[in-house]
């Protein structure tokens, strides 16, 4: 269990530029309930002793694993670390023998995210349009 404060640090460092907001909406108790669940696994990539990225595998649905969050801190992007981390996480996920491994990405994510996922073997299976209120206007970003 990484602890709520460390998780929030990782989530904000990795996701702020891409407007990751869903976990920012949760209070500490709700977030802790997710990240302390034994079926939710957090993997942190360290570079020179500091967190450089993370991945979260959610195994709470029978037969499937969601790569719920994946990304790098801004200064680690463009160094090949994302490719390496993604392949490691995919191997870990498949070692649990799910029927399906999936993820969700959006137009707010890094422009190279979708091509990276496709090169790693993910195939788009659904596209949808959602309109969300700007999380910055809601005060979720300082």
Q: What is the pLDDT of residue 135?
A: 76
Q: What is the pLDDT of residue 112?
A: 87
For the cut 90, the answer to whether the pLDDT of residue 15 exceeds it is yes
Q: Report d(CA 24, CA 27) in Å as an integer.
A: 8
CA triple 97-86-116, angle to 5 deg: 115
Question: What would you report as the CA-atom Rg of the chain, rounded to the nearest whole angstrom?
Answer: 15
Domains and CATH numbers, the chain: 4-119 (3.40.630.30)
Q: Report d(CA 117, CA 105) in Å as an integer.
A: 9
Phi then psi for residue 30, to 5 deg, are -65, -40
Q: Report d(CA 141, CA 21) in Å as an integer.
A: 8
Q: What is the pLDDT of residue 102?
A: 97
User: What is the sign, positive or negative, of the torsion defined by CA atoms of 17, 22, 26, 31?
Assistant: negative
pTM, whole model, 2 decimals? 0.90
- As a whole number, mean pLDDT of residues 111-122 equals 91
| pLDDT bucket at 133, cuts 50 / 70 / 90 | confident
- As a whole number, mean pLDDT of residues 103-112 equals 84
| pLDDT bucket at 25, cuts 50 / 70 / 90 | very high
Name the more confident of 80 and 1. 80
Measured between alpha carbons, how far apart are the two ends of the chain, in Å? 26
């Amino acid at each position: 269990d990484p602890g709520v404060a460390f998780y929030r640090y990782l989530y904000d460092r990795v996701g702020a530029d891409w407007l990751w907001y869903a976990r920012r909406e949760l209070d500490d108790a709700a977030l802790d309930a997710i990240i302390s669940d034994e079926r939710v696994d957090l993997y942190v990539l360290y570079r020179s002793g500091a967190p450089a990225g993370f991945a979260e595998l959610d195994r709470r649905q029978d037969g499937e694993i969601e790569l719920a969050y994946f990304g790098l801190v801004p200064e680690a992007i463009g160094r090949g670390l994302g490719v390496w981390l993604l392949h490691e996480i995919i191997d870990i996920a498949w070692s649990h023998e799910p029927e399906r491994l999936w993820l969700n990405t959006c137009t707010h994510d890094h422009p190279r995210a979708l091509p990276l996922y496709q090169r790693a073997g993910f195939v788009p299976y659904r596209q949808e349009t959602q309109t969300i209120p700007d999380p910055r206007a809601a005060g979720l970003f300082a």
